[in-house]
Structure 1
Amino acid sequence: MIEAKTRAWWRATLALCLGSFLVFINLYVPQPLLPGLKDTYDVSTLGVSLLMSVSTLSLALALLVFGPLSDAIGREAIMRITLLLAGGCSLALAFAPTFESLLLLRLVQGFVLGGLPAVAIAWMGDEFSKPALLSAVGLYIGANSLGGISGRIVGGVAGDLGGSTAAFLAVGVMTLIGCVVFWRLLPNSRAFTPQRFELRKAVDDLWGHLRSPVLLAAYFLGGINFLIFINQYSYITFRLAADPYRLAASGLGLIFLTYLGGTFGSMISGRLARRFSPAACMMVGVVILMLGTAITLADSLVLIMLGLTVNAFGFFMAHSLASSWVGRYAQGARGSASALYLVFYYLGASLGGFWLEPFWRWAGWLGVSVGSWLLLSITLLLAFGLWRFERHQSKTVAS
């Protein structure tokens, strides 16, 4: 097993963080372009938001394929090939002639983007010791947020200079260059034991995870939190593109610098989990996310940015701990267990527009905030349930 802070740990963690970074610059590059694309193609806020929703939906479905498949054939080839294909899709998006073709390509891209997230944490679970896994997951998820920031900033800046064509080209070229480095850095697995792929066994494994209340609560917690968090960013772009802010695409891209709060939150999550109850820290993360949403109700752009930063900190803190929770409590078939967490996670993202759109039409950003608090109250209760489970487990061990 690879121990924390060793040379092998740093090399493997750097490779997976780079891969995560590349996945998320591709996934989120259209987000600051949404107001402009809405006007260009004359579609509704919900319609243009489908550029994000279809990719997260197909990514979620891909996880059901790549997770169980990785338990049978290994994880490295899946990560390497799908990452390369994702970069190719971004280059194709640059030359898409119609809105419908954009949607189709985003659907395909979302599927291939699912390869690395489906198996990366399972790869770490195979190769890393438990202390090394906790530290690596925090850094890996921190790279998610850095990729999300970079994709949106590149998308916004390049979009102002040359439209969506320039934005997709820039990200496509970055991805292909990054693929070369990723392929060289990622070490071959040593602890992986292949299991013969059987459809019935794969379904049984997934069903077994779904029957575990301890895992199911973490799945719903991650999915609902992400439903709110990521779709808030879509609706805030519509708010800030309108009067009195009137931010251009590059300005909208810069609001995603608030993701740096999430980078910090995910990086310290492992340290907090070693000192305190992971489930209690999840509860704190959800409360922070609710508080950040309240701050964004201010009219001041500075306070809106502060609120989004607080949101990112709370969300990524809870997400990192929920993700590593699955790795700790899954009984076998870790690849499918981690993939199932991400299925819930990205299904939440794809459904968020449908949940928040009525609230947006009802009362604008205040409505989005109310819709957010309603669902976050549920995830707070789920985290409380996991905390009670932890206490019960510790009392059982002590006796």
Structure 2
Amino acid sequence: MIHMRSAAWWRATLALGLGSLLVFINLYAPQPLLPDLREAYGVSTLVVGLVMSVATLSLAVSLLVFGPLSDAIGRDGIMRISLLAAGLLSLALALAPSFEALLLVRALQGFVLGGLPAVAIAWMGDEFEPDAMLAAVGLYIGANTLGGISGRLVGGGMGELGGSAAGFLTVGLITLVGVVIFWKLLPPSRGFTPRRFELSAALADLRGHLLNPLLLSAYLLGGLNFLIFINQYSYITFRLAAPPFSLGSTLLGLVFLTYLGGTLGSSLSGRLVRHLSQPACMMLGIVIFMVGTLVTLADSLPLILLGLTINAFGFFVAHSMASSWVGRHARQGRGSASALYLVFYYSGASLGVFWLEPFWSLGGWGGVALGSWLILGVTLSIAAWLRRWRPDGNAGR
């Protein structure tokens, strides 16, 4: 097992962090371009949101494949090959001749992007000691935020300079270079024990995870929180692209620097859990998220950015705790258990536009805030239930 702060720990954590960065660069590069794409193709906010939704939905579907498959054939090869395919598909996006073709390639890209997140935390569970895993998960999720920021900065900046094709080409080239580094850095797996893949066994594992209240609660909490978090960013681009702010694609990309609050939150989550139980940390993160949403109601751009930063901090504290909770409490099929968490997580992202669109249409950003608080109230209740649940005297830890 890999010990905390050892050379192998740093090498593995760096590799998985780089892989995470590459996944989210590819996933989120189009987001600051949504207002421009809406105008270019003459579609509604709901339809242009499919550029993000089809990718996250197909990613969620792929997790049901990659998670159980990794329990049978191993995790290393899945991560390497899927990252390579994602980079090649970014290059293909630059050549898409129509909006429909763009959506098709995004769906394919979303599917292969699921390869790394489906198995990375399970890989850590196989290879790291428990304390080393908690610290590594926080840094790994911190890399998620850096990838999200980088993708949006590249997408927005290159989109304004040379159009969306330039953005996709740049992301594709960055990914291919990163894959070479990832391939060399990732240590060989030593703690993995293969299980022969059997469909009935895989379905039984998934059923067992869904019937485990500790896991199902974390799945719902992660999915519903992400439903709000990621779609708030989509709607804030429409708000800030309109008067009185009238921000262009490059400046909209810079808005996503507020994700750095999430980098800090996920990195600090390992320290917080030394003083509070994991469910208590989830509750704290959700409350911070609710406060940040309140701040975004201001008419001042600096206060809006502050509110988004607070949101990111709170969301990623809760997400880090919920995802590591699954890794600790899965009784069997750790790969499929972690993958199922992400199925809920990314399904939430793809469905959020349908939840928030009526609130946006009726009440603008104030409506989005109201829709957000309704869902966050539900996830806060779930975290509070996890904190109280003590059938064996150890729950809530």
Decide whether the 8 Å contact of 1:85 with 1:112 is kept in 2.
Answer: yes
Task: Measure, in 2, the Cα distance between the counterparts of 1:200 and 1:165.
Answer: 44
Aligned to 1:328: 328
Aligned to 1:203: 203
Q: How far apart are 1:289 and its partner, in Å?
A: 0.5
Aligned to 1:60: 60
Q: How far apart are 1:396 and its partner, in Å?
A: 11
Aligned to 2:145: 145
User: What is the identity, as a one-letter code, of the residue corresponding to 2:62?
Assistant: A
User: What is the identity, as a one-letter code, of the residue corresponding to 2:342?
Assistant: L
CA 1:396/1:340 → structure 2, altered by over 3 Å: closer, same or farther? closer
Q: How far apart are 1:391 and its partner, in Å?
A: 9.0
Decide whether the 8 Å contact of 1:279 with 1:390 is kept in 2.
Answer: no
- Give per-residue Cα distances to partners, 1:257-308, cap 9 Å, x unaligned: 0000000000010111122111011001001101100000000000000000
Q: Percent identity?
A: 70
User: What is the identity, as a one-letter code, of the residue corresponding to 2:205?
Assistant: D
SS at match of 1:393: coil
CA 1:396/1:290 → structure 2, altered by over 3 Å: closer, same or farther? closer
User: What is the identity, as a one-letter code, of the residue corresponding to 1:251?
Assistant: L
SS at match of 1:287: helix
Aligned to 1:183: 183
Q: How far apart are 1:394 and its partner, in Å?
A: 3.6
Task: Measure, in 1, the Cα distance between the counterparts of 2:343 and 2:220.
Answer: 10
User: What is the identity, as a one-letter code, of the residue corresponding to 1:87?
Assistant: G
Q: How far apart are 1:390 and its partner, in Å?
A: 5.4
User: What is the identity, as a one-letter code, of the residue corresponding to 2:361?
Assistant: R
Aligned to 1:337: 337
Aligned to 2:277: 277
Task: Measure, in 2, the Cα distance between the counterparts of 1:204 and 1:392.
Answer: 24
1:88-237 → structure 2 map (5 Å cutoff): 88-237=88-237
Decide whether the 8 Å contact of 2:388 with 2:395 is kept in 1.
Answer: no
Aligned to 2:11: 11
User: What is the identity, as a one-letter code, of the residue corresponding to 1:109?
Assistant: Q
CA 1:327/1:396 → structure 2, altered by over 3 Å: closer, same or farther? closer
Decide whether the 8 Å contact of 1:223 with 1:344 is kept in 2.
Answer: yes
Decide whether the 8 Å contact of 2:3 with 2:128 is kept in 1.
Answer: yes
Where does the alignment leave 5 or more consecutive residues of structure 2 unmatched?
none
User: What is the identity, as a one-letter code, of the residue corresponding to 1:206?
Assistant: L
Aligned to 1:83: 83
Q: How far apart are 1:146 and its partner, in Å?
A: 0.3
User: What is the identity, as a one-letter code, of the residue corresponding to 1:277?
Assistant: S
1:249 paired to 2:255: no
Decide whether the 8 Å contact of 2:389 with 2:395 is kept in 1.
Answer: no
Q: How far apart are 1:165 and its partner, in Å?
A: 0.6
How many residues are aligned here?
397
Task: Measure, in 2, the Cα distance between the counterparts of 1:251 and 1:128.
Answer: 40
Decide whether the 8 Å contact of 1:64 with 1:343 is kept in 2.
Answer: yes
SS at match of 1:97: coil
SS at match of 1:43: coil
Q: How far apart are 1:243 and its partner, in Å?
A: 0.4
How big is the alpha-carbon RMSD for the aligned residues of Structure 1 and Structure 2? Answer: 1.2
Task: Measure, in 2, the Cα distance between the counterparts of 1:121 and 1:277.
Answer: 20
Q: Please, what TM-score do these two structures have when normalized by structure 2? A: 0.99
Aligned to 2:41: 41
CA 1:392/1:302 → structure 2, altered by over 3 Å: closer, same or farther? farther
Where does the alignment leave 5 or more consecutive residues of structure 1 unmatched?
none
Task: Measure, in 1, the Cα distance between the counterparts of 2:213 and 2:288.
Answer: 25
Q: Please, what TM-score do these two structures have when normalized by structure 1? A: 0.98
Task: Measure, in 2, the Cα distance between the counterparts of 1:303 and 1:390.
Answer: 41
Task: Measure, in 1, the Cα distance between the counterparts of 2:45 and 2:395.
Answer: 51
- 4+ aligned runs moved over 2 Å, structure 1: 390-397
Decide whether the 8 Å contact of 1:269 with 1:317 is kept in 2.
Answer: yes
Task: Measure, in 1, the Cα distance between the counterparts of 2:160 and 2:5.
Answer: 42
SS at match of 2:274: helix
SS at match of 2:24: helix
Q: How far apart are 1:183 and its partner, in Å?
A: 0.2
Task: Measure, in 2, the Cα distance between the counterparts of 1:197 and 1:173.
Answer: 35
